[in-house]
Amino acid sequence: MKTHGYFGGTFDPIHNGHLSVATQLVESLGLDTLWFLPAGDPWQRQPTANKEDRLNMVKLALNTYPLLNVDEREVHRHGPTYTIDSVKEIRHEHGLEAPLWFIIGADSFLNLTTWRDWQHLLDYVHIAIACRPNYDLKKEQLPPALRSILDNKLEGDPKLINTPSGKVSIIPIIESPVSATQVRECIRQHEDIRSLVPLSVNHYIHQYHLYQ
Ligand code: ATP
């Protein structure tokens, strides 16, 4: 049975940090395909670029990665984007048995309790928290709800998990210190972003005068 992973984000714009996490997670989780899931209208923030441009940049960036793909559903959905809606649909499409992973960065995990129906995410998927080595999630500083998730759902080796959903795994990654905020700021300052984003994304940003 194939194992799929989904990597949600605003991707405003997609950058080399996202691609580095994605390729490392394909390996660590033994994924057959990792789907980037760009948010259409993220309800917690107002993206700078519109959703069509953000989607186009994700597509361009993934062009040369055969195991990375884009799932466009949230961009085409009307109304605010909630991850819970997507994981329900995704589970339905893959059937009850298929192992599914939802990937988030450690910073997003710390924010998880603000997501709509977050307690039900694990009914549909496993969650992989991409974490730089030695990044301490400092269990004692987590809100009790997140601490309880780590106490009850944490599984060391993700490749040993044989259930379709319900587990959390912390996956050490080699950090790539890039953020979309930094990319946008560099563009505003007229600085070179060629080391931060794929060449195709750099071209797109300049062609359409994004983030200026
Ligand atoms: P912004 O700077 O605008 O907040 P971002 O760079 O964090 O954006 P998002 O699209 O918000 O990008 O991130 C999508 C996911 O990717 C999040 O779960 C985030 O934690 C993770 N992520 C982003 N950049 C990195 C990175 N350099 N290393 C590891 N994870 C990252």
SS3 for 9-35 is ECCCCCCHHHHHHHHHHHHHHCCCEEE
Tokens of 69: 């793909």
Q: Does the beta carbon of 178 sit less than 6 angstroms from any atom of ligand 1?
A: yes
Say whether pLDDT at 54 is over 70.
yes
Cβ of residue 107 lying under 6 Å from some atom of ligand 1: yes
Does ligand 1 lie within 6 Å of residue 42's CB atom?
Answer: no
Does the CB atom of residue 108 touch ligand 1 within 6 A? yes
Q: Where are the domains of the chain?
A: 4-176
| Ligand 1 atom closest to Cα of residue 21 | 29
Q: What is the pTM of this model?
A: 0.95
Order of strands across the sheet with 4-9? 68-70, 33-38, 4-9, 100-105, 126-131, 168-172
Q: Is 184 in the pocket of ligand 1 (CB under 6 A)?
A: no
Instruction: Classify 4-176 by CATH class.
Output: alpha beta
Phi, psi of 35 (to 5 degrees): -100, 125
Binning pLDDT at 50, 70 and 90, where does residue 134 land? low
How far is the first Cα of the chain from the last one, in angstroms, to the nearest whole number?
46
Asked whether the predicted pLDDT for residue 156 surpasses 90, the reply is no
- The mean pLDDT of 180-203, rounded to a whole number, is 97
CA 115 to chain centre: 14
Of ligand 1's atoms, which has the minimum distance to the CA of residue 17? Answer: 27
**Mean pLDDT taken over the chain:** 93
Q: What is the pLDDT of residue 34?
A: 98
Tens digit of pLDDT for each residue in 72-122? 999 999 999 999 999 999 999 999 999 999 999 988 898 899 999 999 999
Determine the distance separating the centroid of ligand 1 and the alpha carbon of 181, expressed in angstroms: 9
